Amino acid sequence: MSQNNKDVEASIPLNAMPRASDVERDLTHGEHIEVKIAEPRAPSNQPKKITIPAIIIIPIWMACSISVILYNKYIFDRFDGLNFPYPVFLTTWHLIFSAISTRILQRTTTLVDGAKDIDMTRDRWVRSILPIGALFSGSLILSNYAYLSLSVSFIQMLKAFVPVAILLISFAFKIQEPNKRLMAIVLMISTGCALAAYGEVHFELFGFICQCAAIAFEASRLVMIQILLHGMKMDPIVSLHYYAPVCAVINAILIPFFEGLEPFYALHRVGLLVLFTNAGVAFALNVAAVFLISVGSGLILTLAGVLKDILLITGSVIAFGSPIAAIQVFGYSISLGGLVIFKTTGGK
């Protein structure tokens, strides 16, 4: 999203292969003939890639992103929802659903064709996919645990701190050198998040720690992608194709230690319809993100992300009655200003 928003802006479509140049051959008596080498045509039975206009896909992506978060909160909430407080189980189910769905899409559509351009050796899988998948798993679990005790609006405000965490980790590993602009961005976002936390009416320490840890995991994952998968282009669906099985196995191993058999006994509270529609909306978000990649500039996508966050916070207030203090609105506005500067300048 909101985890899903960062991955979209970092993805870059693969460059097209260069065209064959005209060839000039010397035959006899100095005569020349010009031979044109035409580009090979795609087989007529090959499915064409679908493109969706920005005016359509941006609202779809925003709706999916907002729906996933509010739907998860509804499932977890004990007062206004279904009282199913088992985030590890629900996250595992999402990942299993996504792992199966990406493989179905790989055989029936062109959405996962990017996987064909990746040479995924066993060594690369162990050194790159496995550790990044472990961080991704930790980020998902901890973020969902935060929803058990914190409001959606407060969590969304805290997520604005992700760029700061990325910059701090990049500074620590000397991937990026600090400068005045970056330090100003760090100060803006940090100040805004601090004001948002200070003004939270229903502050809960455990949930706050879980969300901070989730931010640390997510920032570390994004930095490791830059280090370990440098130059490798993965859109959200291809990433899910590789990471979903890894994360699903890791989460499944953790279920007995964190939640035991209780989620299975409580499945009647949610039912099959909710489980499948919830996982379906989460997967649809990743599909929408693929189409979102090529429809607009970084500025358009950033502004769409900011509008989505504002709508999400507003929706959470309406759906769950989450109170927001004036100081939080002021602090979050400062954070959004720093976030827009960070995204539009490319973190330079």
Tens digit of each residue's pLDDT (9 = 90 or more) over 78-119: 888 899 999 999 999 999 999 999 999 999 988 888 888 888
Nearest CA among 9, 63, 55 for reference residue 340: 9
The residue among 235, 245, 221 whose CA lies nearest residue 92 is 245
How many domains does the chain fold into? Answer: 1
pLDDT at 20: 33
Mean pLDDT within 173-191 = 88
pLDDT beyond 80 at 264:
yes
Report the candidate in 222, 239, 290 with the shortest Cα–Cα distance to residue 99: 239
Residue 99: inside a domain, yes or no?
Answer: yes
Question: Can you tell me the mean pLDDT for 223-231?
Answer: 80
Is the residue at 135 inside a domain?
A: yes
- What pLDDT, on the 0 to 100 scale, is given for residue 18? 35
Give yes or no for residue 237 having a pLDDT over 50. Answer: yes
CB 219 within 8 A of CB 227: no
3-state DSSP assignment of residue 109: coil
229 inside domain: yes
Least confident of 11-15, 70-74, 182-186, 202-206: 11-15
The answer to whether position 9 is within a domain reads no
Residue 131 has pLDDT above 80, yes or no: yes
> Which pLDDT score is estimated for 48?
57
Side-chain half-sphere of 269: how many Cα atoms within 13 Å? 16
pLDDT higher than threshold 70 for residue 77: yes
Does 60 map to a domain?
A: no
Phi (first) and psi of residue 270, to 5 degrees: -105, -45
In a domain, 218, yes or no: yes
% of the chain with per-residue pLDDT over 90:
43
Read off the pLDDT of residues 315-339 as tens digits, 9 standing for 90 and up.
Answer: 888 888 878 889 999 999 999 898 8
Torsion angle, alpha carbons of 329, 332, 333, 336, to 10 = -160
**What pLDDT does 340 receive?**
85
What pTM, to 2 d.p., does this model score? 0.79
Measured in degrees and rounded to the nearest 5, phi and psi for residue 291 equal -70, -25
Q: What's the pLDDT score for residue 231?
A: 66
Query: What are the structure tokens assigned to 192, written together?
Result: 């805004």
Which structural domain range is residue 251 located in?
Answer: 81-346
Query: What letters, b where the CB count within 10 A reaches 16 and e where it falls short, cover 24-35?
Result: eeeeeeeeeeee
pLDDT of res. 143: 93
Q: At a CB cut-off of 8 Å and minimum separation 6, what does 287 contact?
A: 111, 237
With vertex at residue 2, the alpha carbon angle to CA 217 and CA 180, rounded to the nearest 5 degrees, is: 70
Between these two residues, 47 and 183, which has the higher pLDDT value? 183
Q: What is the pLDDT of residue 235?
A: 80
Cα 206 from Cα 333, distance rounded (Å): 25
Residue found by looking up tokens 């998948």 in the block: 133
The closest of 317, 297, 292 to 64, measured between CA atoms, is 292
Q: How far apart are CA 214 and CA 170, in angstroms?
A: 17
Query: What average pLDDT does the segment 238-246 reach?
Result: 91
Q: How many CB atoms lie within 10 A of CB 104?
A: 10
At 134-172, the pLDDT tens digits run 999 999 999 999 999 899 999 999 998 998 998 899 888
Please indicate, yes or no, if residue 20 is contained in any of the structural domains.
no
Residue 25 resides in a domain: no
Q: What is the pLDDT of residue 47?
A: 53
Average pLDDT value for residue range 176-185: 87
The mean predicted confidence, pLDDT, of the chain is 82
